[in-house]
Structure 1
């Protein structure tokens, strides 16, 4: 059972059984496809394909169909990969009623994009743009128009470059955080219990992934003392460019402006993240969605008023 070949055969068998269940669930009905290109750990291009359809009890469902290795990400190559996957599971392209991709030109191009090539074979396969992708890009673009936000996220990227480029630095951060947790537990500053004080890292935020910026900001806040300790140690190691970068980052990291923006982004992202999660629930209706939007606007307005702003400012000052 621990033989590598046997394990691959078991995994392959599980995949085939799972896919068989998906095809039976589809039951020769019409379907839509969701596709995106990516690269694996060996930097080889691949295409991920999902099916979207309405099951027997009238519920819209999404099911992962498979991955296909591709030589490149041109629209023609991606179309051939999709057709090969569909033919493999005997899914006729004539049953295709929708297609959803991101906004890359090779995907949604009006002349030679994947959308256009698919519609030549199946005119009923209407294209639907990924709205979550579009909305996230809009929010990021608007935030970068603000000088303070642009300054903050620029230094956040610098921080991730300084601390996340080697296993040595990641290990230093984990050790520093473990030392901080032990001391905090001794002092009674944090509670011990199942599921508490889990190990965390510094994930790089992505412009098209929901919650990624919020997650990065939360982790930086939680790891703040440990990050400061690691930057101090890196800055004292030598006079190399890396040490100078760590010293520069430490000065920025300790500044009130960085701490203030860190807290402000955490507060705002917290409100918008709750709204985003609520709006993406499958049982959400338009009336409740409008109420949730209004509630989020009220929360943001309270933050701008004197009482809410003074409380927030005091919390930022105490953190420093």
Structure 2
């Protein structure tokens, strides 16, 4: 690979990442209904990348129509990989911010469009006198039994280096149909850490 090819790739990748970061920061969808080249609206990601090309000749020279057919960096899988990388960095930053502080978890269950069970996790902690709540993810669970939810929490803690001994609070959606399972989950966590009331 020539030096110029590497430079072109970095410019193209940088533009792709910048578009993804902007859309994530604004909470906007990436995809459009019709992403073909003759579409009047290809979706936010491709339209934003085209806008960047129109306003930056260096990006235009190596992106979209001027990129090699197999290296445009616009495929949905590429977009998802970039989003996943950004999510990992954000969660790592949150975990680093928590450090050795005490924290609480807020849990709720939900189903995705295909009715698969999921559990949303929010970490709550105090930093410089301010209460901070950070959504850190959705974990797929096999079912909504208290044991399954506890295993998912243990797995999440293990992956992110969180300690159950630093957990000093639990919160669940009281109106949820999961209240019985959450009471069981609360008990399982309290057996492991009496301070996590």
Q: Is the shorter-chain TM-score for this pair beyond 0.5, marking a shared fold? A: yes
Query: SS of 2:74's equivalent?
Result: coil
In angstroms, what is the RMSD of aligned CA positions?
0.9
Does 2:143 correspond to 1:72? yes
Correspondence for 1:8 among 58, 80, 85: 80
1:5 Cα deviation from its structure 2 partner: 1.9
Gaps of 5+ in 1: 127-320
Query: How far apart in 2 are the matches of 1:89 and 1:106?
Result: 24
Query: How far apart in 1 are the matches of 2:151 and 2:96?
Result: 24
Query: SS of 1:84's equivalent?
Result: helix
Does 2:104 correspond to 1:32? yes
Correspondence for 1:107 among 164, 182, 195: 182
Instruction: Provide the aligned length of Structure 1 versus Structure 2.
Output: 121
Query: SS of 1:28's equivalent?
Result: coil
1:65 Cα deviation from its structure 2 partner: 1.4
Does 2:116 correspond to 1:44? yes
1:58 Cα deviation from its structure 2 partner: 1.6
Report the structure, 1 or 2, having the larger helix content: 1
Report the structure, 1 or 2, having the larger strand content: 2
Query: How far apart in 1 are the matches of 2:78 and 2:173?
Result: 38
Q: RCO greater where, 1 or 2, for CA within 8 Å and sep 6 or more? A: 2
1:66 Cα deviation from its structure 2 partner: 1.3
Gaps of 5+ in 2: 1-72
Equivalent residues of 1:30, 1:95 under 8 A apart? yes
Does 2:159 correspond to 1:85? no
Correspondence for 1:22 among 90, 94, 97: 94
Equivalent residues of 1:66, 1:85 under 8 A apart? no
1:28 Cα deviation from its structure 2 partner: 1.7
Query: How far apart in 2 are the matches of 1:37 and 1:61?
Result: 21
1:3 Cα deviation from its structure 2 partner: 1.0
Query: How far apart in 2 are the matches of 1:27 and 1:91?
Result: 9
Does 2:133 correspond to 1:62? yes
Query: How far apart in 2 are the matches of 1:93 and 1:86?
Result: 8
Alignment of 1:1-320 (within 5 A): 1-55=73-127, 57-103=128-174, 104-108=179-183, 113-126=184-197
1:102 Cα deviation from its structure 2 partner: 2.4
